[in-house]
């Protein structure tokens, strides 16, 4: 039997965006924060590089804005970029107040560091050193600090191992205007679906890179928030832009270990098996070109030469420098038999970041009343056709703060919905065919990698569209017949996300940013500034 839980604010997701929003509203609200695994199991903890912000006295917000606009290949919203970049220093100061400890400058190079204080790195697409970091484990430091604050806050209740099934619709106040009244949530430990009622609900569920066979993301990045919002009636945008990080460690024991872009920012080279550097043939910025260019260059060389991987080499730098700046990566590579200080490391591209997502305004509001979204689950207009390195955590912080302010303003006028039914399992049974879920999951991720990956063609996309339609039908039938499980819920969400990616990619008949089409290799000037917007009624527009 379902239990009912009542809160002012329900936050679905426990990474940087979700924890920040929860902490920002907790002085005025009773808050629930849900995590489908442990609180720290999301993508935030995996972030190595850092947070882009203008902290160097030689740097300017105008330069950060320009770099972001260039990386976004004509699809960034200038007003959004400006708003986010201008709040960078404020966001860093707030994190420090929460106990986040960033790496300080220990070198006498005050011309490139702000007042000799924070050590700043330079990553692909940036004109200046502007990435503040906690060595090579920034996400972990941020996650641990915010999690500690949340655990100690009297108005925040944390629910680990709770996976959202679907959002709850309330039409009791106005039949013509639905609002979000909370969510049905599966307690994976008890095997029970409970009801979480809330005045305001926030999606902070992260991205969808697990839709691909190879990814740098943790297992939970299955597009849950995007799929739930789509089923609920929200628009999504720019789902064709999936960022592939150029340098994921190529090793059979770890397919998800990222080698941060900061390595290339500090002078690492990309080499072919014979030792030749190749990036200068693809871009004058070499290894510091934006991620889409570097990933395509690596993919091209792998296919051209029929090799398994290329190599990232920073062994020409001082040994102590490498160990001091990249201790986590150094030790992990050493555990796997590679010495970062002495030899090149094998790398391949892997799905890394979902640049599109649920459409929101500058306050994080979706198309549905009382439903907000923050972080990677969203499309804000910041990233355009390609996210610039280390802008993602910045977006989480800025939009979580904006949404929190809006929620505090609107919440006093909202009430909990009294007409919510408990979860009904009377007409379903336990599955005796779990192999179906495993098989469909495997098939989906394989054909997305093969047909909807770094390089695409219309024929490949059409083939993927037929496959995803067939899988979607099978999964709907399975979902309607059997009790929910975590794997089934994730597969149900992934097939929705895969469909959105494929449909969006088919409509963008050009190559732009992360979307590269062999049969449309050029950028179409007529599509500059035009987002690909999908509506739940299956109508698609480019605006």
Query: Distance from CA of residue 527 to its chain's centroid?
Result: 25
The answer to whether the CB of 354 falls within 8 A of the CB of 238 is no
Average pLDDT over the chain reads 91
pLDDT for the residue 111: 42
> Could you report the per-residue pLDDT of 195-226, keeping only the tens digit for each?
999 999 999 999 999 999 888 888 889 999 99
- Please state which of the ranges 54-68, 376-390, 411-425, 514-528 shows the lowest mean pLDDT: 411-425
What pLDDT was estimated at residue 41? 83
The catalytic residue among 291, 445, 492, 512 is: 291
Q: Which tokens in the block code for residue 380?
A: 């804000």
Token pair for residue 227? 């799929």
Task: Tell me the pLDDT band of 40, cut-offs 50, 70 and 90.
Answer: confident
Nearest alpha carbon to residue 294 among 454, 93, 113, 83: 454
Distance, CA of 352 to CA of 256 (rounded, Å): 10
| pTM given for the model | 0.90
For residue range 283-312, list pLDDT tens digits in order.
Answer: 999 998 888 889 899 988 998 999 989 999
**Tens digit of each residue's pLDDT (9 = 90 or more) over 168-187:** 999 776 766 779 999 999 99
Q: What is the pLDDT of residue 216?
A: 85
pLDDT tens, 99-129?
Answer: 999 998 764 344 444 445 889 988 878 999 9
Contact indicator for 139, 328 with CB cutoff of 8 Å: no
Question: Which domains can be identified in the chain, with CATH numbers?
Answer: 247-352 (3.90.700.10), 434-523 (1.20.58.100)
Closest CA to 515 of 285, 290, 248, 238: 238
* Per-residue model confidence (pLDDT) at position 533: 96
* pLDDT (mean) for 324-342: 92
Examine the residue annotation and report whether 467 is marked as an active-site residue of this protein: no
Q: At residue 476, does pLDDT exceed 80?
A: yes
Is the four-CA dihedral 391, 392, 394, 399 of positive or negative sign? Answer: positive
């Amino acid at each position: 039997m379902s239990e009912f839980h009542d809160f002012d604010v329900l936050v679905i997701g426990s990474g940087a965006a979700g924890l920040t929003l929860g902490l920002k509203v907790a002085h005025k609200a009773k808050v629930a924060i849900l995590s489908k695994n442990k609180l720290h199991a999301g993508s935030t903890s995996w972030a190595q590089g850092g947070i882009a912000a203008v902290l160097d006295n030689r740097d300017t917000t105008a330069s950060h804005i320009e770099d972001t606009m260039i990386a976004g290949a004509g699809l960034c919203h200038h007003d959004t970029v400006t708003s986010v970049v201008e709040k960078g220093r404020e966001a860093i100061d707030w994190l420090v107040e929460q106990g986040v400890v960033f790496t300080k400058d220990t070198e006498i190079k005050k011309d490139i560091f702000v007042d000799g204080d924070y050590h700043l790195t330079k990553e692909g697409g940036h004109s200046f050193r502007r990435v503040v970091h906690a060595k090579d484990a920034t996400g972990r430091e941020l996650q641990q600090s915010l999690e500690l604050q949340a655990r100690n806050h009297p108005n925040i209740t944390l629910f680990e191992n709770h996976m959202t099934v679907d959002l709850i619709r309330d039409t009791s106040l106005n039949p013509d205007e639905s609002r979000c009244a909370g969510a049905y949530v599966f307690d994976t430990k008890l095997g029970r679906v409970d009801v979480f009622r809330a005045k305001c609900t926030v999606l902070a569920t992260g991205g969808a890179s697990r839709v691909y066979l190879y990814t740098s993301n943790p297992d939970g990045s299955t597009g849950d928030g995007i799929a739930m919002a789509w089923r609920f009636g929200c628009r999504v945008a720019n789902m064709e832009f999936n960022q592939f990080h150029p340098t994921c460690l190529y090793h059979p024991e770890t397919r998800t270990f990222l080698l941060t872009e900061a390595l290339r920012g500090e002078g690492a080279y990309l080499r072919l098996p014979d030792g030749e550097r190749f990036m200068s043939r693809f871009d004058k910025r070499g290894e510091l070109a934006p991620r889409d260019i570097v990933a395509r260059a690596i993919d091209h060389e792998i296919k051209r030469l029929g090799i398994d991987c290329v190599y990232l080499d920073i062994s020409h730098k001082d040994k102590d420098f490498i160990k001091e700046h990249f201790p986590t990566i150094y030790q992990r590579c050493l555990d796997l038999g590679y010495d970062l200080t002495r030899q090149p490391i094998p790398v391949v591209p892997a799905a890394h970041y979902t640049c599109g997502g649920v459409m929101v305004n500058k306050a994080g509001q979706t198309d549905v009343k009382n439903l907000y979204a923050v972080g990677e689950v969203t499309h804000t207009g910041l990233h355009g056709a390609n996210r610039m390195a280390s802008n993602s955590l910045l977006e989480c912080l800025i939009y979580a703060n904006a949404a929190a302010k809006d929620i505090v303003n609107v919440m006093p006028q909202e009430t909990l919905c009294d007409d919510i039914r408990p979860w009904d399992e009377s007409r379903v049974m336990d599955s005796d065919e779990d192999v179906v879920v495993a098989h469909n999951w495997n098939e989906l991720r394989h054909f997305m990698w093969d047909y909807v990956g770094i390089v695409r063609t219309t024929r490949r996309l059409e083939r993927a569209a037929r496959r995803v339609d067939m899988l979607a039908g099978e999964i709907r039938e399975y979902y309607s017949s059997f009790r929910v499980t975590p794997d089934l819920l994730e597969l149900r969400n992934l097939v929705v996300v895969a469909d959105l990616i494929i449909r969006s990619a088919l409509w963008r008949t050009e190559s732009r940013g992360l979307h590269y089409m062999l049969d449309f290799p050029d950028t179409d000037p007529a599509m500059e500034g035009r987002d690909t917007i999908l509506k739940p009624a299956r109508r698609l527009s480019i605006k």
